[in-house]
Amino acid sequence: MLIKDYVQEIREVINSCSLVTSFNITSDERTGDQGFIVGEISFIDGSILYWREFVNVKTIINRGMYVYQYMTPSKNLIFRYDNTRHHKKLNLPNFPHHKHDGTEENIISSNAPTLIEVLQEIENL
C-alpha cells in the first residue's frame, strides 16, 4: 500500500461518520510507504478530535507514533489516546499505549486504537 492510498482510506472513513461536520488532513509523505499525517475533525456538537500519526504502510499498517485527542468545544479534554513513552513508572500492561480519560492525570492502559475505533467511541458517547 502507498501512503497516499492510506490517506484516502482515512478520508473515506471520516466522510462516512454522520457526526462529522468538517475535517482537514495534512500529510507529509516521507517515502512512498511512510508518512506523517495530521488531522482535525469537527463534530455536530462542537467537539473536536485532533490527531496525528507517523505511519509505515509497506506491508502492514504500523503506526510508530499516534495521538488522538478528543476535546469539548471549550477545549476541555474528553479523552486522549497516545503511545508517548512518558508513563513508564505506572507499569501499564500495554505500555506505551495508554488513554487519558477526562483529565491528564487519569491514565489507564489501552490498546492502540485506530482512527475508526476512536470515531466509533465518539459516536457511542
Per-residue pLDDT tens digits of the chain, which is 125 residues long: 889 999 999 999 999 999 999 999 999 988 888 999 999 999 999 999 999 999 999 888 888 899 999 999 999 999 999 998 876 677 778 889 999 999 989 999 899 999 999 999 999 99
C-alpha 114: how far from chain center = 7
Q: Cα–Cα distance between 72 and 63 in angstroms, integer?
A: 26
Q: What is the pTM of this model?
A: 0.87
pLDDT of residue 47: 98
